[in-house]
């Protein structure tokens, strides 16, 4: 049973436009969410995170939105750049429950077309 | 560069063999995590160590074991290898303190079992 789902395996966006990557979760215990970016032949790189006490967190071109009632989060990249082309993983954890284990989605491959 | 190192980068071995993967965490991080990424799969959490002690277990097979040493480096031992164990194995580290949950990943070890 997948507790973190990224239903779009791939996404193509024109350079300069907005990229929106989506993630859904089923476990109500999750209270901390992270996005990772992964290039081929490299380990995942931490991008941005959000605690369940917030509904938005922004860092430069990257913004993560959290909708707790819908158990849904999204990552917005504005403007998208060719260097953003990578696989993006959504991850979740239950910090208040004492867990630091991350549960990952299967990833969305983003292609930014110049 | 995340500051997490993993050796070796590549490992090719035969079924039935045993291998050891090594990970050195970022300076100051007490927690080490091991993940497996098989083809078309997201990252699957295997096991977590915190300051030398096992903290959490995920989908780790009985043929697999890990430990964290006093200098905080960790080793993942995989024995009686099967073809299906071929995967990327990532190590991550974190402070694992309250409110700080970002994990930083190494470049991974690609294991090929022939």
Name the residue among B88, B84, B41 with its Cα closest to residue B61.
B84
Q: Got the DSSP string for chain A?
A: --SEE---SEEEEETTS-EEEEEEE--TT--EEEEEEE-TTS--EEEEEEETT-SEEEETTEEEEEETTTTEEEEEESS--GGG-EEEEEEEE-TTTT----EE---EEEEEE-
Task: Count CA atoms closer than 13 A to B50's CA, side-chain side.
Answer: 12
A vs B: CB pairs below 8 A = 65
CB–CB of A95 and B99 under 8 A?
Answer: yes
For chain B, give the mean pLDDT.
92
CB–CB of B42 and A100 under 8 A?
Answer: no
In tens, the pLDDT along A6-49 reads: 999 999 999 999 999 999 999 999 999 999 999 988 899 999 99
Q: For residue B95, what pLDDT is reported?
A: 84
Residue B97's Cα: distance from chain center in Å? 20
pLDDT confidence tier of residue B68, bands split at 50, 70 and 90:
very high
Residue B68's Cα: distance from chain center in Å? 11
What is d(CA A54, CA A66) in angstroms, rounded to the nearest whole number?
A: 7
Average pLDDT score over residue span B49-67? 92
What is d(CA A36, CA B91) in angstroms, rounded to the nearest whole number?
A: 14
Six token digits for residue B13:
């071995």
CB–CB of A100 and B55 under 8 A?
Answer: yes
In tens, the pLDDT along B75-106 reads: 999 999 999 999 999 999 998 765 567 899 99
Mutate to test the interface with A, among B23, B41, B42 (most CBs of A within 10 A): B42
What is d(CA B103, CA B33) in angstroms, rounded to the nearest whole number?
A: 8
């Amino acid at each position: 049973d997948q507790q973190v789902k990224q239903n779009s395996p791939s996404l193509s966006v024109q350079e300069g436009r907005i990229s929106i990557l989506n993630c859904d979760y089923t476990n109500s215990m999750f209270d901390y969410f992270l996005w990772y970016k992964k290039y081929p032949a490299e380990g995942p790189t931490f991008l941005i995170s959000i605690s369940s006490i917030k509904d938005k967190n922004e860092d430069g071109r990257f913004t993560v939105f959290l909708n707790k009632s819908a158990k849904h989060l999204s990552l917005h990249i504005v403007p998208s750049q060719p260097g953003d082309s990578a696989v993006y993983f959504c991850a979740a954890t239950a910090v208040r429950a004492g867990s630091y284990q991350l549960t990952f989605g299967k990833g969305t491959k983003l292609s930014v077309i110049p | 560069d995340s500051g997490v190192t993993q050796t070796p980068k590549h490992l090719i071995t035969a079924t039935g063999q045993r291998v050891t993967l090594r990970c050195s965490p970022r300076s100051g991080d007490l927690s080490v995590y091991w993940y497996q990424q098989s083809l078309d799969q997201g990252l699957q959490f295997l096991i977590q160590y915190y300051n030398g002690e096992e903290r959490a277990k995920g989908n780790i097979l009985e043929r697999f074991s890990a430990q964290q040493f006093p200098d905080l480096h960790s080793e993942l031992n995989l024995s009686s290898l099967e073809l299906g164990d071929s995967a990327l194995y990532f190590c991550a580290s974190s402070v694992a303190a309250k409110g700080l949950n970002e994990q930083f990943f190494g470049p991974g070890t690609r294991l090929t079992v022939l």
